[in-house]
Amino acid sequence: MIMLHYWRAMWGIINRELWRFITQRERFISALIRPLVWLFVFAAGFRASLGLAITPPYETYILYEVYITPGLIGMIQLFNGMQSSLSMVYDREMGSMRILMVCPLPRWFLLLSKLLAGTGVSLLQVYVFLAIAWFYDIHAPWQGYLGILPALILSGLMLGALGLLLSSFIKQLENFAGVMNFVIFPMFFMSTALYPLWKMKESSPLLSLLAHYNPFSQAVELIRFALYGQFNQSAFIYTLAAFLIFMAAAIIGYNPSKGMMVKKGGA
């Protein structure tokens, strides 16, 4: 009976998130347009100028758009994770979060359900993006399209948990612009999404070091290897650890007696 209760609550949250995503057609289109612009415009401009040495998981030379694809998948999940947390701030302002939080279930479970819902939405976006990329001659082995799924779930959870953590600090919707400038952009540009580490090392060893320890880089590498049917153990452990830390901090952040809610005057 208790299990059923849990399940109903989780399904309710996931259903609400998916329904919101499907009905907001503009959100779906903009979530796709962003990585596609990078793929068709940015990567096309760089395809000849950026020579790429062979590094695992690749076994031969690749075009820049092939390299950038896992990074753009990470970008989809990064923006989606942040957008989910944005909706948390919105929910708080509108008062719907109060309804959620009075639900007689543990707070961590409600937050995890929210995370899973956000990750589910990002999976839809990623597979549509991969389908479009396939017609653009970006092909991965068939087992890669399956193997990427668990990697996407973990990276989606990790980035979503980061979003949750950030949202626990944000009092008003307007403050979210700061997240764009101080979190999304540095995280995306200081990662292996756009350039390989060895290339970064050529210009700045410090930058390459920062990029290496950036959890987003590790998530991108996990996705990159999975897309080619390979398992990157270190990236997996790093991403999992980052998820657990962000999640624990977010749970504390959303605790009315201990976390940021005290400072903000509760949910």
Partner 1 sequence: MLLKKKNVDNLQADSILRKLSGLLLTLALTGTVQAETVFVTLEKDNALAIVDPLAGKLLKTVAVGQRPRGIAISPDNKLLYVATSDENTIKIINAETLKEVGKLPSGEDPETFALNPKGDILYVSNEDDSLVTVIDIAKKKIIKQIKVGVEPEGITVSPDNNWLISASETTNMVHWIDTKTNTIIENTLVDPRPRAASFTADSQQLWVTSEMAGSLMILDTKTKQIIKTLKFEVQGVTADKIQPVGVVIDKAGNKGYVALGPANRVAIVNAKTFAVEKVLLVGQRVWNLAFSPDQKRLYTTNGTSNDISIIDLESQTVTQSLGVGNYPWGVTVKP
Q: Contact residues for partner 1 (CB under 8 A)?
A: 44, 47-48, 54, 59-63, 139
> Cα–Cα distance between 198 and 200 in angstroms, integer?
5
Q: Which residue has the tokens 């005290």?
A: 262
Torsion of CA 253, 258, 262, 263, to 10 degrees: -70
Q: Which residue number, 23 or 60, has a Cβ lying nearer to partner 1? A: 60
The nearest distance, CB 61 to partner 1, in angstroms, is: 5
The nearest distance, CB 142 to partner 1, in angstroms, is: 12
The number of beta carbons lying within 10 Å of the beta carbon of residue 205 is: 10
Cα four-point dihedral sign 71, 161, 234, 143:
negative
The nearest distance, CB 52 to partner 1, in angstroms, is: 10
Q: Which residue number, 158 or 194, has a Cβ lying nearer to partner 1? A: 194
Q: Which residue number, 60 or 257, has a Cβ lying nearer to partner 1? A: 60
The nearest distance, CB 48 to partner 1, in angstroms, is: 4
> Cα–Cα distance between 81 and 240 in angstroms, integer?
16
Q: Which residue number, 52 or 103, has a Cβ lying nearer to partner 1? A: 52
> Cα–Cα distance between 16 and 14 in angstroms, integer?
5
The nearest distance, CB 62 to partner 1, in angstroms, is: 7
Cα four-point dihedral sign 130, 37, 236, 83:
negative
- Residue 243's nearest CA partner among 153, 167, 178 is 153
> Cα–Cα distance between 87 and 164 in angstroms, integer?
10
Q: Which residue number, 39 or 211, has a Cβ lying nearer to partner 1? A: 39
Q: Which residue number, 26 or 59, has a Cβ lying nearer to partner 1? A: 59
User: How far is CA 53 from each of CA 48, 83, 211, rounded to the nearest angstrom?
Assistant: 13, 35, 19
The nearest distance, CB 143 to partner 1, in angstroms, is: 15
